Structures are given as structure tokens and as C-alpha cells.
Amino acid sequence: MKELELKYGCNPNQKPAKIYVNDGRELPIKVLNGKPGYINFLDAFNGWQLVKELKEATGYPAATSFKHVSPAGAAIGKPLNDTMKKIYFVEDIDELSPIACAYARARGADRMSSYGDFIALSDVCDVSAARIIKKEFSDGIIAPGYEPEALELLKEKKKGAYTVIEIDPAYKPQPVEHKDVFGITFEQGRNEVKIDDSLLTNVVTRNKDIPEPARHDMIISLITLKYTQSNSVCFVKDGQAIGIGAGQQSRVHCVRLAGQKADNWLLRQCPKVMGLEFVDGIKRADRDNAIDNYIGEAYMDVLREGAWQKIFKVKPDRLTDEEKREWLDRMDDVVLGSDAFFPFSDSIERGVKSGVRYVVQPGGSIRDQDVIDCCDHYGIAMVCNGVRLFHH
């Protein structure tokens, strides 16, 4: 198949729409189920590149949860402890394969943003992963293959309309890419920069101790940022992105957004939140929204009379600001990655509140020394890798 007609482009009024390979080759994909659209393919192809690179860089199976051409979460397939299984709502799945763990982590980082996601897996989708995916509200998936039973489970989603795409893992695009804007064609070389340990040698702070797990997380943050709409920053801990700030005009606003998501990820693990008792039959999205609101500024809306009975079996006590801060102060060893330099130290100051102890960024600002001094003040180890990762 050399081209695939689509129903429409980004919006219903944008017709005609199709995908094809400029050099006349066959498309490297097969649509096994459903009818993917224009935005589905943007998410699928960006997501596939991300997980393919994560697998190559770390050796672990990898997954990402994409929404509107940026990842809501990305992770490698490290095993889940009991707490992670509970907050990711996968306790009922007996055996979690590495690729299933990767998707549980990617989906669980920011469940509100992942609602209606497009999934990319680095490895064959097995039954374990399919059982997780079947429970979640999702638009589709791209992977290099599917176990037969897993494919049947996925085909049952969305009344049989769930999009399932198989991609040829051997496909290599041309080194030059094109994009049309306003009838004008842009041309550039593909961003083929290889992200590995060689980018982590320039440690510019007094603290130069970056243990292997933190170096691993730095690589995960940079690969995630390579496929995130700029400006972008990424908080990573234990092999998964826990907060991604994308598409903001100000870098500190990216950090604030990503930091809040990272805070929510940790707060979901505190006893008050894990002890919330939900009414029987509550929808997954309603439960996720209730947790987010209970943690955040809308807690009074959740706890007001007439509202909580629709969500909780027992009215929960308020999670106070003091309790939040006490719990968040337990956060540590978090990596903060940035797709371009930090122009001010304010981003570091905000990152510290979410447990940041390691930073990786290109450097190159006239205020680099201010940022280095701020890191030194907090004992943070920072790498300036010299590689900008803008993505548009």
C-alpha cells in the first residue's frame, strides 16, 4: 500500500487528507482494525519513534501515552511494586509482563491527560498489556506486532472500532524531511541525534555525583523531550516520566506545569489518597477526576454535600496544605530535563519543590552561571549536554 486515504485532516473541514511516503515506497504500516485519522497518525508516528529510541537506549521495553502530538507519559518496563500497582489500577492483573509494566507506568503518570490517548509500544503487544489497555479509554495503538489473543482483546474495544496499527520496525525514513505551512514547503534534516551516555559527560556543578539510575533517567527525559512539543521539560523518576510540561511559551511555566503533575503523582501515593473508598460502579474517568480534584484546588467541590456521595462511600477528610507539603518533602532523586537552556534560576527553584536532585539541559544561556550557582546552593548535579531538542 503506497498511500492511505483519511476521513479528514486535523478538523472535519480539512479535506482531502491522506498519508504516503514521499519517495514512493510502500507505507511501513498495516491497519489491523479501525479507521485511524490524521491526528492519530501524528501521535502514532511520534510515539513510535520515542519508544523505539527508549528501547535502544535502555534495553528495556518501552511505552508512551500520546495526546495531541506530545506524550502525556513515557516509561520503560521496570517491575511495579504493590503501591504502583494500586495507583495504576492494575492489581487485578496477575502477571504483568515488562511491556505491560511500561504501559501501566506511561498511562499512570498523568491519567487525566492520558484519557483518550494513542499508545505506542516498542515490543509486541502481549495479552498482559492488552488487558490493561482494554480497561482504559484510548483511541488506538501502534506496535511492531500483536499476540493473536491480544489482538482479539483490542478489537473488542470501542464496539469494534478501536484503531490497531502494526508498524515495520525495520522501516527507516529518508534523512531529509518536509512540511508544508501556508502552501510553502519547509525542508530540514531529520533530528537523528543519538541520545546516550556520551551526552552526560559535561557536569558543570560542584556536585558531580550522578549515580547510574539517575543517568538512566536523564536519557529517558531527553528522549521524551525529543518528541514533545516545545518549549518542554520533563521530570523523571525510576524509569518513567512523572511530569511533562509541553508547548508553553515560557520555560518556567513548563516547569510549573510539569512540577504540578509530578507532585500529583507522588500525592496519589500518600495514605489518605490511597485510602479513598469509591462507590461501586464508578467510571474510571470519574474516579481519576475525583482523585485529581481531591489532591488539587477543587477539593471543596469534591467534598461538598450532595457531591461526595456520588463518588465516595465515606466522606474523606480534607488533604491539608501542610499534609501535602510534608508528603512532597519525601520526594527525592528526581531528574529534570529541558529541551533548551534555562534562562533563569527560577526553574531550578521550582524543581527543588518536587524533589529534583539532577538536571540535564543544553546550557548556552548568558545566565548559565546563575543557574549553576542555584544548583550548587541546593547540592544539585547538573549536566550541560550542548544539544537543543526543539520539536515542532
Share of the chain above pLDDT 70, in %: 100
Distance, CA of 189 to CA of 239 (rounded, Å) = 30
Average pLDDT, the chain: 95
User: Helix, strand or coil for residue 66?
Assistant: strand
Burial of residue 296 (number of CB atoms within 10 Å: 0-12, 13-18, 19+): middle
Point out the least confidently predicted range of 33-37, 73-77, 90-94. 90-94
Instruction: Please give the C-alpha separations between residue 86 and each of 62, 76, 266, in angstroms, as whole numbers.
Output: 20, 18, 13
pLDDT, position 24: 82
Question: Is residue 371 left, alpha or beta, with left meaning phi > 0 and alpha meaning psi from -120 to 50?
Answer: alpha
Residue 193 neighbours by CB under 8 Å, 6+ apart: 226, 387, 389
Distance, CA of 383 to CA of 312 (rounded, Å) = 46
Q: Would you state the cell numbers that stand for residue 355, as one nine-digit string?
A: 524533589
Inter-residue contact 340 to 362 (CB < 8 Å): yes
- pLDDT tens per residue across span 124-162: 999 999 999 999 999 999 999 999 999 999 999 999 999
Inter-residue contact 165 to 125 (CB < 8 Å): no
Q: What mean pLDDT is predicted for residues 355-377? A: 97
**Amino acid at residue number 57:** A
Report the catalytic residues: 67-68, 231, 392
Q: How confident is the model at residue 297 (pLDDT cuts 50, 70, 90)?
A: confident
Distance, CA of 271 to CA of 54 (rounded, Å) = 32
Q: How confident is the model at residue 325 (pLDDT cuts 50, 70, 90)?
A: very high
The C-alpha cell 524531511 sits at: 177
The CATH number for 187-267+328-384, chosen from 1.10.150.120, 3.40.140.20, 3.40.50.12780, 3.40.50.720, is 3.40.140.20
Domain boundaries, the chain: 3-172, 187-267+328-384, 276-318
pLDDT at 298 over 90: no
The CATH number for 3-172, chosen from 3.40.140.20, 2.60.40.10, 3.30.565.10, 1.10.10.10, is 3.40.140.20
Of the candidates 392, 391, 357, the one whose C-alpha atom is nearest the C-alpha of residue 235 is 357
Predicted TM-score of the model (pTM): 0.96
